[in-house]
Amino acid sequence: MTLHLTIVNKAYSSWSLRPWLLMRQFEIPFEETVVPLRQSDTLARLLAVSPTGKVPALRDGDVHVWESLALLEYLAESFPQMAIWPRERAARALARSISSEMHAGFTALRQECPTNFRRVPRAPRTALSADAKANIARIEALFADSRVRFGADGPFLMGKFCAADAMYAPVVNRLYAYDIKVSAATKAYMDAVRALPAWQAWHQDAAAEPWVIEDYERV
Ligand SMILES: N[C@@H](CCC(=O)N[C@@H](CS)C(=O)NCC(=O)O)C(=O)O
């Protein structure tokens, strides 16, 4: 049975990026449907696949999963041969903790710097709030902590690419697209994520999308 992932605009959707990037990076075959945001039938189409009217949503036969972190857990459980979470217990605990932190938090940064894969890097029109700056400081600290403790095997948070990197991929776009000043270590991590073939593929798809949503563009 083929997995089917429903997402919204690749140019603007942070939540959709997470499972898509992970599945592509781990070479998990899937079909996808992109439902464009802000159309007359958007809500009906999203409600048909997710009871929250929000995506990403994954269908695997008669199993339906929604909420990005739940999707990543479902994929990890479905493909135990792949190290979707790190194999080592302490690394896995940290990866899950920071992923939950991402799923539940960083609201100011998310609101003030919405994901935009087509944005030419430039600062936001309005200076970032103290809360958004605190979000960035915490993100840089958790990146550094993860890399120092578990990053020996590669350039990603836990060394090799895993679900935690998928969770933070939209943040990489925000830091890049809004030209946020970051440490050399954060920049090196961002470069590694942005060089992923799956990231490049998402970026190309986003660039080719016809839909423009002004709210995301005037920031
Ligand atoms: N907590 C949810 C958030 C999902 C979410 O907010 N998705 C947005 C797209 S990025 C959505 O579907 N929006 C639908 C709409 O605005 O009509 C998750 O982790 O999947």
Q: Could you read off the pLDDT of 70-126 as tens digits, one per residue?
A: 999 999 999 999 999 999 999 999 999 999 999 999 999 999 999 999 999 999 999
pLDDT at 48 over 80: yes
CA 3 to chain centre: 19
Closest ligand 1 atom to 38 CA:
17
Q: Could you read off the pLDDT of 153-166 as tens digits, one per residue?
A: 999 999 999 999 99
Q: To the nearest whole percent, how much of the chain has pLDDT over 90?
A: 99
Atom 11, ligand 1: residue with shortest CA distance: 54
Region 185-202: mean pLDDT is 98
CB 84 within 8 A of CB 72: yes
Closest ligand 1 atom to 103 CA:
19
Atom 12, ligand 1: residue with shortest CA distance: 54
Domains located in the chain, CATH noted: 3-82 (3.40.30.10), 89-201 (1.20.1050.10)
* Whole-number average pLDDT of the chain: 97
CB of 54 sitting under 6 A from ligand 1: yes
Cα 134 to ligand 1 centroid, rounded to whole Å = 24
Residue 1 is predicted with a pLDDT of 75
Cα-Cα-Cα-Cα torsion 41, 46, 49, 54, nearest 10 degrees, comes to -170
| 43 phi, psi to nearest 5 deg | -60, -45
CB of 37 sitting under 6 A from ligand 1: yes
Cα-Cα-Cα-Cα torsion 164, 218, 123, 131, nearest 10 degrees, comes to -60
Q: What is the pTM for the complete model shown? A: 0.97
- Which residues, 6 or more positions from 54, have their beta carbon under 8 angstroms from its beta carbon? 15, 46, 66
Work out the number of other CB atoms within 10 angstroms of the CB of residue 67: 17
Cα 52 to ligand 1 centroid, rounded to whole Å = 8
